[in-house]
Amino acid sequence: TVEDRDGKYFGRFFLGVATLGLSEVTIQQEEVRQAYEGSPSCPPPQGVKVVTAAKPASAGGQSAAVATLVNGTRWTIGIYLNQEPGTPGVAPFAILRPSGNLQVAFRPGQHTLLARPTGAPPGTLPDVQWRRQMEIDPRVRGFKLQFNEADFK
């Protein structure tokens, strides 16, 4: 009968929806688990410098967040990671030209990042710097950080 046929289709439809719902919950649980574990078996891309945290996170192991640092200023800037510029023997971690970018892999934990204009005769560059303390969570896989002139103080 029509009622029997419609009942079968109706039952199959709800069985499919229930199964799909369970699958979705399982997938979400797996994604959360992977996020908390970080990505220890996934090394950073070849040629990317890996930076250990000044104060490592208690969890996170060998995971790393790959950051793209972008110079949005008109100056060439020196990047200092977990080091103080002006200390004898301390050179910039990297030099970024205007519109340039650099990929760096950050291990979980606390990092100090400082950028300042460089590469021109003394007195021709502004006496400003960009300084941030960042806490890299083991669940973070990557991010982009753009240096803009307005952020330098």
User: What pLDDT does residue 62 have?
Assistant: 76
pLDDT tens string, the chain, 153 residues long: the values are 667 666 666 666 655 555 555 566 666 776 666 655 555 557 788 899 999 999 988 776 678 899 999 999 999 999 999 998 888 889 999 999 999 999 999 999 999 999 999 988 878 889 999 999 999 988 888 999 999 999 999
Contact 111, 69 (CB under 8 A): no
Enumerate the domain spans of the chain.
Answer: 1-37, 49-151
- Are β-strands 49-51 and 101-106 bridged in parallel, bridged antiparallel, or unpaired? parallel
Per-residue model confidence (pLDDT) at position 7: 64
Q: What pLDDT does 41 receive?
A: 58
Fold topology of 49-151: Immunoglobulin-like (2.60.40)
What is the pTM (predicted TM-score) of this model? 0.72
Cβ atoms of residues 135 and 60 within 8 Å: no
Quote the pLDDT of residue 139: 80
| Residue 139 φ/ψ region, left for φ over 0, alpha for ψ in the -120 to 50 degree band, beta for the rest | alpha
